Structure 1
């Protein structure tokens, strides 16, 4: 009987140690790079992320379809608006935002691919333990496959591979992540945006990791 109880306890302990789908911190600041398989998009961005208020700020530059671009956008999903900000000219365009907000997280129905150490496990501080997950999402324009890597401790995003029939595979790498908002003002429209009329959105902005959702 004691052996059976010991076996059950050990089994529960092993199950408890198995990585579980997780949600990234609600407030994050950092940088990311994005590149698409079809080579239409290559970009670098600094971001501020607020899952509580459903707000994202992206200051991005790169190339899309062989044309360089630079834009600064504030996405307010709760209000359903997007601000394109130009500090140099002190101008602001306010446009409708129809996309749904999806927090940075590993969906509950994801499957674990594996757990590895990025860097080295030879000594303390030489590597970081990460988990890689994969799955499929039902998108507005059809199913999409993903493979996401996050840290075991903290669920901090490391990289994401995302596949759609339109753009093929798109890879996003996160770095210089800081938990919290380094500058909360980045998620508030600048003073010169006050009173900006809501314009009809006719143009198509370059896709980013966040706009895929």
Structure 2
């Protein structure tokens, strides 16, 4: 795990000398799978996601059948523009509605991200064996930390590394399709509608990333 992270960061730093400092792109609509692994190698989250890039909405549902007992059971519906999110318990048909204190997430490159140029993953001289990646980096909002994100030339985020004072973790996206396959997943369930926003305990920060810290 550490070796993979070190190699990735080294590649990013090497690419920095070739950076063109262009503005970040924004990802398209997506449906796929997401894995979150911390620096101890524990799977903190594994499941499916649906992302509406225009409305900036994200649904993440962890796969309870994943064998790793460190994986968190989550069903999150995030409304980043509105600054709220829902923790959903579909089995018991209940929800918690909370305020979002940070809108950063691994499916969108922040507007203030710095470009570290382009790197080639694999062998670009062999057809189908190479992949060009844009590398972006910056400071995390709300906490002392930094991130490094890789995205395809079509602005499809592949992986994101997050480093804070207390932890670090990598989020990887797989089996991505450029469409919203089930729009109903981005609609607040009927049993969640009309709920008030819960009070946030002092010192607590709610965000998509904080759910895995």
TM-score by length of 1: 0.71
Secondary structure at the counterpart of residue 43 of structure 1: strand
Counterparts of 1:172 and 1:205 in 2: how far apart (Å)?
A: 19
Change in CA separation of 1:42 and 1:69 when aligned onto 2, cut-off 3 Å:
closer
**Residue 111 (structure 2) pairs with residue 110 (structure 1):** no
| Counterpart contact for 2:21–2:114, Cα < 8 Å | no
Secondary structure at the counterpart of residue 78 of structure 1: coil
Worse-matched range after superposition: 186-195 or 75-84: 75-84
**Residue 97 (structure 2) pairs with residue 95 (structure 1):** yes
Higher strand share: 1
Q: Which runs of 5+ in 1 are unaligned?
A: 1-16
Change in CA separation of 1:50 and 1:149 when aligned onto 2, cut-off 3 Å:
same
Q: Please list every run of at least 4 consecutive aligned residues from structure 1 whose deviation after the TM superposition is greater than 6 angstroms.
A: 203-207
User: Which residue in 2 is equivalent to 1:43?
Assistant: 45
TM-score by length of 2: 0.71
Secondary structure at the counterpart of residue 27 of structure 2: coil
Number of aligned residues: 188
Secondary structure at the counterpart of residue 166 of structure 2: coil
Counterparts of 1:119 and 1:192 in 2: how far apart (Å)?
A: 48
Q: Which runs of 5+ in 2 are unaligned?
A: 1-18
Change in CA separation of 1:105 and 1:196 when aligned onto 2, cut-off 3 Å:
same
Q: Deviations over 1:41-65 (max 9, x none)?
A: 62212111223223111102589xx
| Counterpart contact for 1:119–1:127, Cα < 8 Å | yes
Q: Deviations over 1:101-142 (max 9, x none)?
A: 3471164551415411x33334322332212233x3152233
User: Which residue in 1 is equivalent to 2:176?
Assistant: 177
Change in CA separation of 1:171 and 1:200 when aligned onto 2, cut-off 3 Å:
same
Counterparts of 1:50 and 1:20 in 2: how far apart (Å)?
A: 24
| Counterpart contact for 1:55–1:76, Cα < 8 Å | yes
**Residue 80 (structure 2) pairs with residue 77 (structure 1):** yes
Q: CA RMSD in A?
A: 3.4
Change in CA separation of 1:198 and 1:20 when aligned onto 2, cut-off 3 Å:
closer
| Counterpart contact for 1:75–1:97, Cα < 8 Å | no
Counterparts of 1:53 and 1:191 in 2: how far apart (Å)?
A: 20
Counterparts of 1:206 and 1:19 in 2: how far apart (Å)?
A: 31
Aligned with 1:123 (options 121, 126, 130): 126
Secondary structure at the counterpart of residue 200 of structure 1: coil
